[in-house]
Copies of this chain bind each other. A is one copy, B any other.
Amino acid sequence: MKLIIAIVQDQDASNLVEELTEEEFRITKLASTGGFLKSGNTTLLIGVEDESVEKVLDIIEHTCKTREITTSLLTVTMPGDTYIPYPLDVKVGGATIFILDVEKYIRL
């Protein structure tokens, strides 16, 4: 048994929880902030059998991996006070994952 502690962006957390739950993994969500990832983040505790660790990592990877998105939120001021939306590539997502060995796992 392993305990996976995954710190992910808030915006990716619900997708991740949904996919893990569909695959019958059991998760608990802790409110967390800052540090590892700049914006609001969520810390998940996921208890898994040794042989399922890879599957969980795959799910975290395809739901949370750092990716570039093009946003046009930024505007550039032009003469005459016209604002022009400016395409900008920003990185979103990302995850920090710790895998710990569990000495004993009990459900009551």
Binding site for B on A (CB under 8 A): 1-3, 5, 7, 17, 21, 26-37, 41, 43-45, 47, 57, 60-61, 64-66, 93-108
Q: Which of B1, B64, B98 contacts A108 (CB 8 A)?
A: B64
In the complex, what distance in Å separates the CA atom of A101 from the CA atom of B30? 21
Give how many copies assemble into the complex.
3
Asked whether A65 lies within 8 Å of B108 as measured between CB atoms, the reply is yes
Q: Which residues of B contact A26 (CB under 8 A)?
A: 35-36, 96
Q: Which of B27, B64, B108 contacts A95 (CB 8 A)?
A: B108
Q: Which residues of B contact A35 (CB under 8 A)?
A: 17, 21, 26-29, 44
Q: Which of B30, B94, B100 contacts A102 (CB 8 A)?
A: B100
In the complex, what distance in Å separates the CA atom of A101 from the CA atom of B107? 18
Give the distance to chain B from A91, nearest Cβ to Cβ, in Å.
12
Q: Which of B7, B21, B93, B106 contacts A28 (CB 8 A)?
A: B7
